[in-house]
Amino acid sequence: MKAYILIHIRTGDIREVIRQLRRVEGVREANMTFGPYDAIAVVEAQDVKTIGNIIATAIQPIPGVLDTITCLAVEE
């Protein structure tokens, strides 16, 4: 299962948050973005419960992360 995590980050913390996101187990990609969100992370896990745990225990607690929105990918 794959999810795209849209992340608002406190001004000045983007580079450090991206660096820390890339260290999180299950995060396959993390990039800075332009637009309404500051970064996007691609998370892959066995199930939605595991994705939720990654977000709640490893992504949201990163200093500088203000808000996240999770978009679950739908396989065709």
Instruction: State the CATH number of the domain containing residue 58.
Output: 3.30.70.920
Instruction: Give the number of domains in the chain.
Output: 1
Q: What is the structure's pLDDT at 67? A: 97
Q: What is the structure's pLDDT at 60? A: 98
Q: How far apart are CA 65 and CA 46, in angstroms?
A: 24
Residue span of the structural domain in which 43 resides? 2-72
Q: What is the structure's pLDDT at 27? A: 98
Dihedral through CA 11, CA 40, CA 18, CA 51, nearest 10? 120
Residues of the chain below pLDDT 70: none
Q: What is the structure's pLDDT at 75? A: 80
